[in-house]
Structure 1
Amino acid sequence: MAQSSSVDLYVLLFGGTIAMMLLASGVVGFILLYQRRIIRQDLAFKEAEAKHQRELYHGTLEAIETERKRLARDLHDEVGASLSALRLLVGQMQQAPTENSLIESISTKSKTLIDNTIDNVRRISNDLLPQGLEEFGLPYAVEGLCEKTMELSDINIYLKAENLPQIDTKVSLVVYRLIQELLNNAVKHSEAGTVLLTLKTENNGLEIEYKDNGKGFDFAEAYQKRSLGLKNIETRTKMINGTTKFETKPNEGLKLIVSIPLN
């Protein structure tokens, strides 16, 4: 009887040991699987982040290349063409008979071409560095941009700039380009009649709030297609460590809040 109890005790101890070992193995296996899953998720996150950074980098290069192409096209098509025409007029003046009326006509055309060329050079210069941005600050430059946009479209733009501090020129230029992109999209795509644009300081940073009453769009679909306008806005914002928040639906206009740290 005692021998049977001893055997049962050994069996119980052996079975308990096996069960504990199986339980420990299960716990260790679970921990290893969980750690492996965490590592996979971390790698996937890092890969997605690296992909996003590459997209932003290429987006920045694409924006720079687009600006260069546009500048080259403007110089060739407008300034270059005007100078070529002016050269032809000067040649005609040299070959023309000494008739005051003909010389006066050629001279008038030459002056007109020179004036147009000066205007084009000023416009191209303003595109490279907006007029008044360095001298008078961001609100002055944005106000001029809004006035120019209203002259060229049927959109009413209401601008409100609330006690903005002095902002670094590089940041101001990026913000100006960002607002320019928004207004260009409003003119070309939104079919909006009214735009509300607010610039203010919020939490030691600059906050830009844009609203329009246009046709809106499906943000998820547009973002998945990597819409050029959205990409440019995101790229310009990321260049100055800012964040964007879009609120839009089809037929409900667009609201965008851009937050940019100023420290």
Structure 2
Amino acid sequence: MEKYYEQKQIFILINQLCMIIFLCYEFLQSNIVGTAKLLPLTLITIMLIYGAYISFVNVKENNTLSQFSNLLLFTSWQFLLTLNGSEIFYTLSMLLSVVLLYMTVQFLLLFFFQDSNFTYKKETDWILQVTCTLTLIANFINDKIFAILFSCQWIFSFSCIIFLFLKHRKRIKFVFKSEKKHLLRSVTILIFPFSIYAMVFAESPEYLSNLGWYIVILLPLFSITAIAFKNHISMRQYFLLKEDKMGLIFLCFLVFISSLGVLFRFNMITYFIIIHTIFWFIQLYFILLFQETKNTILNSDTEELKTLPESSYVHNLVQIAKEEKLKSGFSDYLHDEILQDILAVKNMMNKSNKEEIHEMIVETLRNLNQSIRVQMQEYHPTLLKTLTLKENYRNLLEMLQHKYGMKNINISFKCNENLFLVEPYHLVIYRILKELVTNAFKHSECSKLVLSLTQENSEIELIVKDNGKGLMATETGALNGHRGLNSIKEQLFLLNGKMTISECNPTGLCVAILIPMRGDDSYQYFINR
């Protein structure tokens, strides 16, 4: 089982301890006083707790969730440092602001484009990295230069987002259309209380300090949270009491803490120190829970695992343990079978001086390499994140054309450079495209293959035409005896898609695939894959 998850939990535990120490320091120095600091301290506490929660449920170590958790933790520190008026904390706060702006833009692009490549990605990354680095350096040179560069960083970041969203407006429109309910809900939940707060304290400027900054940072974060976790199981599975009794306990806790505060005349920051301390022990409990569950899983057989408590957390740990065993077995296979054969061939090559044996060995190695690549793609298709979808599909077609090179079939592939398919549709199309093209190479006896892939109005259309001998006149006849085509039809049935098979004029076969692309389930798959 990967150690990164456990290391991240320990890091968050240390981060929480540092937060408590910092709050205690502020209490002793009487730097954070007055009810005007209640809102920022509350937001800081919420972000810190929620960042820890996201990290805890991210057992599968999803990169998006990991970055989101880091963003929340860094933002909570940036908010906290702004509450202290000293010069050193102000400097640290400004440095964090620069880094946070860069991290926020990168996370938004990562989320909306689902960690895939897109047009102008390299240029955007270069602009964001350069402006961030120059702004950080300027902070140690001159305040005026820093202010100018920080403003430029805001302008460049905002411009990059607007430009990319316009350039890929179909993708962005699809995401907003699919997730508008959750976006509107998060905006309402965030804007409504902030508006009431602003009206209540309209005549008290100290209560409204940094309010706009809070909204700018929190709005995209809470909106994305509403999308990513709309179907996520809450943490109530770890507590045996019902919700009403848990609510009663929470209410009693608030009354108890408030009573202690009145009795001992607590400063406002004292309440937050108590809350963060309690949360630290809760984090410690869950770290120990993870270690105990992990050890139980790793040291148990299949039958013993059935006795573990029912929860998504335990289920995820069991799945990860099984995946690790599978990876270990596959690694042993590669080492004991494939690698040993390659080394043996290499030794033979070094000892032999005959040219024909050299050629035979090279050909064997080439075939072995091709065979391994084919099996890897069958096991799990790899779409390179450094390439666009069109480039990945083009590589697939070139691989198939190389595999069946003796057929001499010319392939024409029409596809928009900015084609986007949300997960998992990009893999579905990959498998269907591979099956249809392979069938054409094997059975069509054609000389030309024309492929068209488009995505319009939330529908994916794939058309594969050849000029070969064709099949039977009816679709039923075409499917008869063709396991690959039947497999595609069954998969399309699950996706509410359809496949139409017809004869081309004058000869050949035309297969048209139409799949409605739903966005409301895409991010659930993207987060939990």
The TM-score bracket by the shorter chain reads: 0.5 to 0.7
- In structure 1, the partner of 2:427 is 173
Give yes or no for the alignment of 1:225 onto 2:480. yes
Alignment of 1:39-54 (within 5 A): none
Q: Secondary structure at the match of 1:143?
A: helix
Q: Does 1:210 align with 2:210?
A: no
Question: 1:242: Cα distance to partner?
Answer: 1.5
Once the two structures are overlaid, the 10-residue window that deviates more, 154-163 or 246-255, is 246-255
Alpha-carbon contact 1:133-1:141 (below 8 Å) kept = yes
One-letter amino acid of the counterpart of residue 231, structure 1 = N
Distance in 1 separating the partners of 2:345 and 2:419: 51
Distance 1:171 1:214 in 2: 29
The answer for the alignment partner of 2:380 in structure 1 is 129
Partner of 2:413: 159
Cα distance in structure 1, aligned partners of 2:343 and 2:398? 35
Match of 1:257 in 2: 512
Correspondence for 1:147? 398
Inter-CA distance 124–250: structure 2 relative to 1 (3 Å threshold): same
Alpha-carbon displacement from aligned partner over 1:75-133 (angstroms, at most 9, x marks no partner): 9x99865445457679xx8xxxxxxxx99428x99x97888766654443333333434
Give runs of aligned pairs for residues 25-174 of structure 1, distance below 5 A: 82-85=338-341, 104-105=350-351, 120-151=371-402, 152-153=404-405, 154-174=408-428
Aligned mate of 1:182, from 436, 449, 467: 436
CA distance in 2, matches of 1:125, 1:235: 24
Counterpart residue number, 1:243: 498
Residues of 2 paired with 1:198 and 1:149: CA distance?
A: 17
Paired residues of 1:192 and 1:215 also in contact (CA < 8 A)? yes
Structure 2 letter corresponding to 1:254:
L
CA-to-aligned-CA distance 1:194-241 (integer Å, 9 cap, x gap): 011011123321111111101111134525735313202212323433
* Cα distance change on mapping 1:114 and 1:149 into 2, 3 Å: closer
Matched AA of 1:145: L
Is the contact between residue 211 and residue 255 of structure 1 (CA under 8 Å) also seen in structure 2?
yes
Task: Report percent identity of matched pairs.
Answer: 25
Once residues 186 and 142 of structure 1 are traced to their aligned partners in structure 2, the CA distance between those partners, rounded to angstroms, is: 16
Which residue identity does 1:208 align to in structure 2? L
Give the aligned partner of residue 40 of structure 2. none
Matched to 1:257, the amino acid is: A
State the partner residue of 1:26. Answer: none
Could you tell me which runs of 5 or more consecutive residues in structure 2 were left unpaired when the two chains were aligned: 1-330, 519-529
Paired residue secondary structure (1:169): coil
Task: Tell me: CA distance 1:220–1:135, structure 2 relative to 1, closer, same or farther (3 Å).
Answer: same
Question: Counterpart in 2 of 1:197?
Answer: 451
Q: 1:234 to 1:221 in 2, by over 3 A?
A: closer
Q: Give me the whole-angstrom Cα distance separating, in 2, the residues matched to 1:117 and 1:224.
A: 33
Q: CA deviation at 1:160?
A: 0.7
Contact 1:79–1:120 at 8 Å: present in 2 too?
no
Amino acid in the other structure paired with 1:185 = N
CA contact (8 A) 2:467 2:504 kept: no
Q: How many correspondences in the alignment?
A: 177
| 1:56 paired residue number | none
For residues 129 and 135 of structure 1, what CA distance do their matches in structure 2 show? 18
CA distance in 2, matches of 1:250, 1:221: 19
Secondary structure in 1 matching 2:375 = helix
Cα distance in 2 for partners of 1:146, 1:251 equals 25
Moved more, 166-175 or 134-143: 134-143
Q: Deviations over 1:45-77 (max 9, x none)?
A: xxxxxxxxxxxxxxxxxxxxxxxxxxxxxx9x9
Structure 1 range deviating more: 117-126 or 203-212:
117-126
CA–CA distance in structure 2, aligned partners of residues 147 and 116 of structure 1: 17
**Cα distance, 1:260 vs structure 2:** 1.3
User: Contact (CA 8 Å) 2:419, 2:454: kept in 1 or not?
Assistant: no
Alpha-carbon separation, structure 2, partners of 1:217 and 1:239? 26
Question: Retained in 2: the 8 A contact 1:217–1:250?
Answer: no
Change (3 A) 1:191 1:135: same
The residue type paired with residue 487 of structure 2 is N
CA distance in 1, matches of 2:349, 2:393: 44
Match in the other structure for 1:34:
none
What secondary structure, in the 3-state scheme, does the structure 1 residue paired with 2:424 have? helix
* Mapped partners of 1:256, 1:224: distance in 2: 11
Q: CA deviation at 1:172?
A: 0.9
